Structure 1
Amino acid sequence: MLDLTNPAHIVGAVLIFLGLAVLLISAIGLYRLPDLYLRASAVGTSAGLGVALIVIGALLIDFSGPNLVKAIIAVLAQLLTSAVGSMAIARSGYLHDSPPAAITSPDELRETRRDDVEV
């Protein structure tokens, strides 16, 4: 139960709302950004941060030893997998010739990539 006289509960609720705001901004970016690479970067970064803020906020509201262990594992797993997942999506798009937005310049990978070598 949320107790607004407890400072930890107030900070926890604020962190949860900040996490939700980060995820909402990420969703808007997913819709508005022009290409796969910018979308993968925005979603990977913000998903890690947004979920971490929500988990830490929930921990502050219902703090206990077992919840602390679960929160640490969840935050570390989220930060690691969101970064790796977004890079894997971007690499897959690049290897399958997904076109970058016109504002993306220069394409340093294209300049160093040889056509006869599979990347």
Structure 2
Amino acid sequence: MNINDPFGRMKDKHQRNYESLCLSLQKVGLTNRVDAQALLVKLRWRGIWGLAFIVPVTLLLALALPEFRIFVLACGALLVFWLSKTSVNSQEYVKRYIQEELAEHDESTSF
């Protein structure tokens, strides 16, 4: 039993999200390691560019609207957290896809 997830709900949710990603990647035809690695790089850059956009816009809005500064900073922090978590989870799912699905596929085609 995991103290942070005593009923296994988060583990089940992550498994469902991973399975959904696997189906989506297979549906679009991502079946080799090179394309999956390129997707990893693309996900990483999208996350970085998203943060590079959100942080300055949040700071500029906080300076431009001093009466809403707390609200703007709170929303910006929430967006940064959400984008970071989503980006990290997506990258972890793709890495897992590479290890589990594409490793089996590479082994079966190498014979």
What TM-score do you get using the length of structure 2 for normalisation? Answer: 0.49
Structure with higher RCO (Cα < 8 A, 6+ apart): 2
Determine which structure has the larger helix proportion and give its number: 2
Give the alignment's TM-score, normalised by structure 1: 0.46
